[in-house]
Structure 1
Amino acid sequence: MTITMYGIPNCDTIKKARVWLEGHGIDYAFHDYRAQGLEAERLEGWIGKVGWEVLLNKASTTFRALADEEKHGLTQQRAKALMLKHPTMIKRPVLDLGEQLLVGFKPVVYAQELSGR
């Protein structure tokens, strides 16, 4: 199974994760969801694996710019709709390992989960 990294190329965290993967000789495909889009079914699958609370980056500039009524009282459906409309609200990177999903970049977690690949 090919490892796929989802995100946007100009994100600093994406850049760090890419350098880490390349420095450890780990092949991956990059999916720019700003340019290539993100299917609702894929996002639903991610939500099923890790939960919308993990995926939604409330610290993002895009999220903080929302009107208060859009931010408060979030449900899974509302959060999913927001992330589909504004993919930059998804915490980056999302690394799809097939059965497993890594959200965000922590070198220690990458080393632990990707050893032997």
Structure 2
Amino acid sequence: MTTSKEATLHVYGIKNCNTVKKALDWLTENNKSFEFHDFKKEPATAEKLEEWEQHVPFETLVNKKGTTWRKLDKSEQESVVDAKSANKVLLENNSMIKRPIVEYKNGILVGFDEEAYKTQL
């Protein structure tokens, strides 16, 4: 894994997530300098979620396919109706944030899409 204090990319996720591993491998293979932020060690903050929501809708950040979402009771799932309610649930369950999130100069990428990485990074 490449890390640098001068990294232009910041990658947020969980190290043992397969999608995060694919993204980190792609960044390394393509000589992209990045700093990795592990949600297990550095939980996302309300400010960071709000910053990301300047680039993507809150729905993009909520991983509804993962086990963390499925473990929520139905009323909790149904309570996620806007950014404020989503952020409350995401702050309590960082592993429910879709990952990886890659911050770059012009915005963010959520998830791993090789074509988007090629064109945006």
TM tier, smaller: over 0.9
Distance 1:89 1:73 in 2: 15
Q: Which runs of 5+ in 1 are unaligned?
A: none
**The one of 8, 12, 15 aligned to 1:9:** 15
How far is 1:73 from its partner?
A: 4.3
Whole-Å Cα distance in 2 between the matches of residues 15 and 3 of structure 1?
15
> Is 2:79 the partner of 1:63?
no
C-alpha deviation, 1:98, in angstroms? 3.5
For residues 1-117 of structure 1, the aligned pairs below 5 Å read 2-75=8-81, 76-114=83-121
Deviation at 1:78, TM superposition (A): 1.2
RMSD (Å) for aligned C-alpha atoms: 1.1
Name the % identity.
38
Once superposed, which parts of structure 1, at least 4 consecutive aligned residues long, lie more than 2 Å away? Answer: none
TM-score (normalised: structure 2): 0.89
CA distance in 2, matches of 1:49, 1:24: 24
Q: Which amino acid aligns with 1:67?
A: D
SS of equivalent to 1:84 = helix
Structure holding more helix per residue? 1
TM-score computed with the length of structure 1 as normaliser: 0.92
Q: Distance in 2 between matches of 1:99 and 1:46?
A: 12
Alignment deviations for residues 20-60 of structure 1 (CA, whole Å, 9 cap, x no partner)? 00000001000001211212101111112101101100011
Question: Is the deviation greater in 2-11 or in 95-104?
Answer: 95-104
